[in-house]
Chain A
Amino acid sequence: MLETEELRKIFKGKTAVDGVNLYMDKGESIGLLGPNGAGKSTTISMISSLVKPTSGDVRLHGRSIIKDPTNMRQVLGVVPQEIALYEELTAYENLKFFGRIYGLRGKLLESKVQEVIELVGLKDRQKEVVTTYSGGMKRRVNMAAAMLHEPEILIMDEPTVGIDPQSRSHILETVRELNQKKGLAVLYTSHYMEEVERLCDRVYIMDHGRVIASGTKEELKSILSGEETILIDLDRQHPKLFKELEGNKSILQALETEKGLKLIVPKGSRLLGTVFQIAERHHAQILNVNVQIPTLEDVFLHLTGRKLRD
C-alpha cells in the first residue's frame, strides 16, 4: 500500500535521512525505532508530504505522491510529536475546527467529533480548554484530531512522550484496537521498545539516517539467537568493575544500567563464575542476577552500540 524508495533528505549539507526503503501493507502495524537524531521524524515528514525529499520517492498504491500529495493527504492521519492543538480552545472546539478543514459539516461533523472524543476517553471533559488538561489528555486530543476524517493510515510520532501511565496505556490500547478491529494501518515511532513490541508486527531500526535492520520482532531477535543477556544488580556503581568486564573478550557487550550492569554473552558461555570473581576483587556486592533471552532493546544495543534513549 505504502512504500518509500531510497528516500533521502539533506538539510544544509547535512544528511538527515539517507536512502530509506520501507513498505507497509494494508492494516499492518509498523514500528520505526531509533534514538534521537536517527532521522525518524524527517522520514515520516517526507512520507506525510510535509517535507519534500532531496531524492527518492514515496508511493501510495504504486503512485508517487511527491508531486501531488492530494491522495495521500486524504487517507493519512498524522499524530505529531508536538501537541498540535489550539491551547486556548476546548477539545471540542479544536476537533470541530480540524473537522471543518477536512470538509466535514453539520451532523456528520458533530458525530465524528463525538466518536473520536469518546475513543480517546475525554467525553466528559470535552468542553474544557486544552490548557487545563494534563500532558496525557492533550496527547489524547492530539490523536483524536488525526482520526476525524477516518484515515486509512495513521502515522504516530512519539505519541506517548512525557505522559502519565494511564494516558499512555489508553493511547496504546486505542491504537491496538484501531489496528486490529478497524484494520487501520499504523506507522509508529517511539523511544519505548516495549510499546513497539506490544503494538507492531514489523520493525525498522534507524540510526544516523539509515535503516540498519528490519523485520518481524522474531526475525530481529534472532539476530541475537546465539546470545543471552545477564542482568546484574549491584549495591552501587563500580566503574572499575565495568571497565574490566567491558574489556573481557568473552563478553560481547557490557552496559551500565540504573541498578548495575547488563552483559550480552554467548549462549552457554558459563561466564557467571568469572563475573562473580571479578566483582569480589572490586569489592562489589552482587544483589541479584537474572539471565534473559534477548529483547529488541538488546538487538538495538547490539546493532548501534547505543541505548534507545541515548
Chain B
Amino acid sequence: MIDFLKKDILVIARDRTELIVLLFMPFILIGILGFALRGVLGGDTGELNMDVAMVINDNEQVGIEKFSEELHELGFPEEVHTELQVVASEISPYHLLTNMLEEESLQDMIHVMELGEEEAEKELMDGNIVAVLTIPENFTYDSLHKMLLNQGDGSNLQITVNDYGSLYASMFQDIIDGFAHNLNFETAISLTLGENTARESTIDRNLGGTETISAGEPINSFQYYTIGMAVMFVLFVGATISSKAYVEKRNHTFNRILLSGKPSYMYLGGKTISAAMITLIQLVILFSLSTLIFGAFRGKTIEFWLGMGFISIVVALCVGGVATLLTSIAIRLNSDSVSHIFSGGLVSLFAFVGGSFFPTSDMPAMVATIGNWTPNGAALTAYLQWMQGLEMSTLISPLSRIVGTFILLLIVSVFIFPKRRSASS
C-alpha cells in the first residue's frame, strides 16, 4: 500500500490545479471570511471595546441592614437569622453584578464608570458611552427579599442605550440579561431544592450548561473559518483521489496494476490510505499557515495540538472512506461523474449544513441536526469543542459518528467494487 501512497502523492503533487484547490483555495477563503466576519463570533473580543456608565440609586449597606432587621422581625431562630445575614452580605446582587463586570474576560471589553444620572445621560447623548446601567432604589433589599425569602417582586435593572440594535448595545444588553437570568435561575433552583442559601446554588451554576458552545472558551473568526474551510476542503481530497482512479481505469494503468497480481482490496486500501495521508498533510499545512499568517492558533499548548492531531487522524480516515467509496463507484460505473457531482455540489451542501460557512446554531434546528451527521459537520463540532477547552470525553459523540461513517463507507465500497475480472472490462 505504501507503493500506492507514494505514487498517489506524487501524482497529486504534480497536478497544480488540484494543489490550488486543495491548499490555496481554503487558505484564501479563511482569509476572506476571517476578516469579513471578524467580530461576529464570540472569540473576537480583542477588537470590541465599549464604555458604559453605571448609575447607582441603591445603597447596598442600607439594603442589607434593612433586610437584616426584617429577618429579626420575622422571628427566625437565632442561628438561621445569623446565617441568613452572612449570606445576604455575601450574595448581595450589587456585589455579584460588579464582580461579574470586573471579571478578566469582560474587563478588556467593557469599561464601567460610575456616574450621576444626569451626567450619564449627557455622555450617552454625546455618544461617549454605549449604555447606562441604572441600579434602582432598594435594589439590594428587594432582590434579597425575593432571592432568600421568595417574597415580593424582586427588582429590575434598567439599561438605557442610545443606538438600539447596535452590536455593542446588544452585547451589553445580552450580558446583563445573562446575569439576571442566571441569578433568577439559581434562585429558582435553590428554592426548588429547598436550599436556604444562594451560595450553594452558585456552586451548581453550571447545571445543564456545558453542552453549549458558548459555555467554553470563545472562538474567533480565523479559528472558526480555519476549521470550517479545513473540514470542507478535505472532502475534495476524496473526489480528487477517485477522479485519479478513474483516469487509471481509462488509461489502463489500472489494468497494469491488476496484471501485477495485486489483489483488488490492496488497490482499494491504497486509495483509503492515500486519501487519509493527503488529508493529514493538507490539514497540517492549513493549520500551520493559518497560525503563521492569521495567528489562528498562536501560543497553543502541546496538549492542544495533540488533541487536534487526534481529531485530524479520525477525520482523515473518514475522508479515506469517502475516497474509497467514490473510487468504487467510479470503477464500477466506468465514469467519474459521481466524483464530479460530489465535488461540484455535494461538498458545498455538506459544508453549508455542516456549519463551514456560519455556525449551525444560527440555522433551523433540523438543518443543524442533519449537519451534525455529516462527516464534516461532526468534525467541525469535534474541533470546536476541543478548541473551547472541553474534555476529550465530550468529543466521543461527534468522533464516534465520524468513525461510524468511515466503517460504513468502507463496507459499502468493498461491496460495490467490481470483482477482479469485471473490474478491467
Q: CB within 8 Å of B: which residues of A?
A: 45, 48-52, 70, 73-74, 76, 78, 80, 82-89, 93, 97-98, 100-102, 129, 145, 149
Q: Which of B1-45 contact A (CB under 8 A)?
A: 3, 6-7, 10-11, 14-15
Nearest-Cβ distance from residue B16 to partner chain A, whole angstroms:
10
9 closest pairs, A vs B, by CB? Answer: A88-B14, A84-B252, A52-B421, A50-B424, A101-B260, A100-B3, A73-B261, A82-B252, A97-B7
Q: Which residues of A contact B99 (CB under 8 A)?
A: none
Q: Does B300 contact A (CB under 8 A)?
A: no
The answer on a CB contact under 8 Å between B425 and A51 is yes
Q: Does B313 contact A (CB under 8 A)?
A: no
CA distance A86 to B3 in the complex (A): 14
The answer on a CB contact under 8 Å between B15 and A88 is yes
Extra A-B contacts (13), CB below 8 Å, given A80-B252, A80-B256, A101-B260: A48-B259, A49-B259, A50-B424, A51-B421, A52-B422, A73-B259, A78-B259, A84-B255, A86-B7, A86-B253, A88-B10, A93-B10, A100-B3
Q: Which residues of B contact A102 (CB under 8 A)?
A: 260-261
CA distance A50 to B252 in the complex (A): 11
Q: Which residues of B contact A48 (CB under 8 A)?
A: 259
Closest to B14 in A: A88
Q: Which residues of B contact A145 (CB under 8 A)?
A: 256
Q: Which residues of A contact B393 (CB under 8 A)?
A: none
- 0/1 per residue, B378-405, Cβ < 8 Å to A? 0000000000000000000000000000
- 0/1 per residue, B233-251, Cβ < 8 Å to A? 0000000000000000001
CA distance A93 to B255 in the complex (A): 18
The answer on a CB contact under 8 Å between A82 and B3 is no
Check A70/B261 contact, CB under 8 A, given A82-B251, A85-B251, A97-B7. yes
Q: Does B106 contact A (CB under 8 A)?
A: no
The answer on a CB contact under 8 Å between A73 and B260 is yes
CA distance A100 to B251 in the complex (A): 19
Q: Which residues of B contact A83 (CB under 8 A)?
A: 251
CA distance A76 to B255 in the complex (A): 13
Contact partner, A98, options B11, B15, B260, B421, Cβ 8 Å: B260
Q: Which of B249-283 contact A (CB under 8 A)?
A: 251-253, 255-262
CA distance A88 to B247 in the complex (A): 12
Nearest-Cβ distance from residue B9 to partner chain A, whole angstroms:
11
Q: Which residues of A contact B252 (CB under 8 A)?
A: 80, 82, 84
The answer on a CB contact under 8 Å between B3 and A101 is yes
CA distance A80 to B421 in the complex (A): 17
Contact partner, B11, options A45, A51, A86, A149, Cβ 8 Å: A86
Nearest-Cβ distance from residue B225 to partner chain A, whole angstroms:
31
Q: Which residues of B contact A100 (CB under 8 A)?
A: 3
Nearest-Cβ distance from residue A174 to partner chain B, whole angstroms:
19
CA distance A87 to B14 in the complex (A): 10
Q: What count of chain B residues pass the 8 Å CB interface test?
A: 22
- Count of A-B residue pairs with CB < 8 Å: 69
Closest to B11 in A: A88
The answer on a CB contact under 8 Å between A50 and B425 is yes
Q: Which residues of B contact A52 (CB under 8 A)?
A: 421-422
Q: Which residues of A contact B15 (CB under 8 A)?
A: 88
CA distance A200 to B260 in the complex (A): 26
Check A89/B14 contact, CB under 8 A, given A101-B262, A102-B260. yes
Q: Which residues of B contact A89 (CB under 8 A)?
A: 7, 10-11, 14
Q: Which residues of B contact A82 (CB under 8 A)?
A: 251-252
Nearest-Cβ distance from residue A2 to partner chain B, whole angstroms:
15
CA distance A100 to B15 in the complex (A): 23
Contact partner, A84, options B6, B251, B261, Cβ 8 Å: B251
The answer on a CB contact under 8 Å between A129 and B14 is yes
CA distance A77 to B171 in the complex (A): 73
CA distance A145 to B255 in the complex (A): 12
Q: Which residues of B contact A129 (CB under 8 A)?
A: 14
Q: Which residues of B contact A85 (CB under 8 A)?
A: 251, 253
Nearest-Cβ distance from residue B234 to partner chain A, whole angstroms:
22
Q: Which residues of A contact B422 (CB under 8 A)?
A: 52
The answer on a CB contact under 8 Å between B11 and A76 is no
The answer on a CB contact under 8 Å between B257 and A101 is yes
The answer on a CB contact under 8 Å between A51 and B424 is yes
Instruction: Offer 14 A-B interface pairs, CB within 8 angstroms, sorted by A.
Output: A50-B259, A50-B421, A51-B424, A52-B421, A76-B259, A78-B256, A78-B259, A80-B252, A84-B251, A84-B252, A84-B256, A86-B253, A89-B10, A101-B260
Closest to A87 in B: B251
Nearest-Cβ distance from residue A68 to partner chain B, whole angstroms:
11
The answer on a CB contact under 8 Å between A98 and B256 is yes
Q: Which residues of B contact A51 (CB under 8 A)?
A: 421, 424-425
Closest to B2 in A: A100
Q: Which residues of A contact B257 (CB under 8 A)?
A: 101
Closest to B260 in A: A101
CA distance A45 to B421 in the complex (A): 10
Contact partner, B424, options A45, A76, A86, Cβ 8 Å: A45
Closest to B258 in A: A50
Nearest-Cβ distance from residue A184 to partner chain B, whole angstroms:
17
Contact partner, A80, options B3, B11, B255, Cβ 8 Å: B255
Q: Which residues of B contact A149 (CB under 8 A)?
A: 260
CA distance A74 to B261 in the complex (A): 8
Q: Which residues of A contact B6 (CB under 8 A)?
A: 97
Closest to B13 in A: A88
Nearest-Cβ distance from residue B425 to partner chain A, whole angstroms:
5
Nearest-Cβ distance from residue B291 to partner chain A, whole angstroms:
31
CA distance A241 to B421 in the complex (A): 53
CA distance A204 to B425 in the complex (A): 24
CA distance A220 to B259 in the complex (A): 34
CA distance A246 to B265 in the complex (A): 59
Nearest-Cβ distance from residue A100 to partner chain B, whole angstroms:
4
The answer on a CB contact under 8 Å between A84 and B253 is yes
Q: Which of B406-425 contact A (CB under 8 A)?
A: 421-422, 424-425
Nearest-Cβ distance from residue B373 to partner chain A, whole angstroms:
36
CA distance A148 to B255 in the complex (A): 16
Q: Which residues of A contact B259 (CB under 8 A)?
A: 48-50, 73, 76, 78
CA distance A102 to B257 in the complex (A): 9
CA distance A73 to B260 in the complex (A): 6
Nearest-Cβ distance from residue B3 to partner chain A, whole angstroms:
4
Contact partner, B255, options A50, A87, A88, A101, Cβ 8 Å: A50
Closest to B15 in A: A88
Q: Which residues of A contact B261 (CB under 8 A)?
A: 70, 73-74, 102
Closest to A84 in B: B252
Q: Which residues of A contact B256 (CB under 8 A)?
A: 78, 80, 84, 98, 101, 145
Closest to B6 in A: A97
